[in-house]
Amino acid sequence: MKKMSLKATFSLLNVDYVQLNKDWNYKNVTSTFYRIYLIDGGSGILYNPDSTCTLEKGFLYMIPSFTTCNYYCAESLGQYYLSFIEETPDGTSLFSSNRKILKVPAAPADLVHFKKLLELNPDRGLKRSNDPKVYEKYPVLQSFRELNNYMPIAAYVETQGIILQLLSRFLTPECFQATEEAIHSKISDAINYIQTNLHKQLTVAHLASRANQNPDYFSRLFNENTGERPLAYIQLKRTERAQFLLANTNLSLTEIATATGFETLAYFSRIFKNVTGQTPSEYKKNKQLI
């Protein structure tokens, strides 16, 4: 996990301060990027089938990539927000085993960091709309990502550093529970192997053999530690990686299926729809068209 985190690059998409109202009401949002919020007034709610989190003044919140979430504000909400994308050479993700809404008490430095980000990155807010269906389109995301290429090197590096400092606030044992210490070592190793070899053939028998365990016992142990059977977990992680590639690249469906280890386009489409409710073509169309 430590080595993987060092390989990740976290690039700015958006940062701004907004005053929200009852129009901030969106359901079933599953983004390919991270969000961090700092609340300075009012209240709101983040929720999904697993948890409900009240947005309140003096707290910092993070929604990792691929964490399905609903957003609700009854009256008003003052919010600093930051969104950023995570990229690694092998497609792994720091919070791949911890897709939860996270909350920590805000520290004075957090507000300083947000204000510095706004100073370094003016006009990086969502001026057009707060609706995820609008700002999560591929052309919009690409336009924000490309702005990083035109930043002065000093501002770019400082922005990277601040993103890492804000991200580190959620890497405490209380928040970051999905670590090697919390998961059986053989399952932790299997998870890392899966995440870095999605493009290869992955079977329960092979994973069990790597762990020197009986396949049935390995499968039960994997389920006890992750809440998923190995095959279901592999399909989920392949689908998440495919979502990222569909939303952030111009690769063809065939290229994405190959890159994520799906043997055929038909199998790719079936598993992708089972997980997301959409076919890859439908998902790509929704992300590409404005």
The model's pLDDT over 40-64, given as tens digits with 9 standing for 90+, comes to 999 999 998 888 999 999 999 999 9
Q: What sections of the chain are H helices per DSSP?
A: 2-7, 108-120, 132-135, 138-147, 153-168, 185-196, 204-210, 215-226, 230-248, 253-259, 265-276, 280-288
CA distance 287 to 290: 8
Count the helix, strand and coil residues of the chain and give each as a percent rounded to the nearest 5.
45, 20, 35
* Confidence (pLDDT) at 147: 93
* Confidence (pLDDT) at 50: 82
Residues of the chain with pLDDT > 90: what percent?
62
* Confidence (pLDDT) at 181: 45
**Which residue has better confidence, 113 or 98?**
113
**Mean pLDDT over each residue of the chain, to the nearest integer:** 89
Rounded to 5 degrees, φ, ψ at 52 are: -125, 130
CA distance 147 to 12: 9
* Confidence (pLDDT) at 262: 94
CA 33 to chain centre: 5
Of 31, 2, 1, 30, nearest in space to 14 by CA = 31
Containing 27, the helix (H) or strand (E) segment is: strand 25-29
Reply yes or no on whether the pLDDT at 239 is more than 70: yes
Fold exhibited by the domain 2-168: Jelly Rolls (2.60.120)
Q: Does domain 185-288 have CATH number 1.10.10.60?
A: yes
* Confidence (pLDDT) at 89: 73
* Confidence (pLDDT) at 24: 95
- Amino acid identity of 110? D
Say if CB 94 and CB 55 are below 8 A apart. Answer: no
* Confidence (pLDDT) at 289: 59
Give the CA distances from residue 140 to residues 105, 133, 219, 266, 289, in Å, rounded to whole numbers and listed in that order: 32, 11, 41, 29, 10
Tokens of 74: 């009854």
Say if CB 80 and CB 38 are below 8 A apart. Answer: yes
Tokens of 177: 């529970």
CA distance 123 to 115: 13
* Confidence (pLDDT) at 173: 77
Question: Domain limits of the chain?
Answer: 2-168, 185-288
CA distance 114 to 249: 29
Say if CB 173 and CB 200 are below 8 A apart. Answer: no
The model's pLDDT over 155-195, given as tens digits with 9 standing for 90+, comes to 999 999 999 999 999 988 777 654 444 567 788 788 888 88
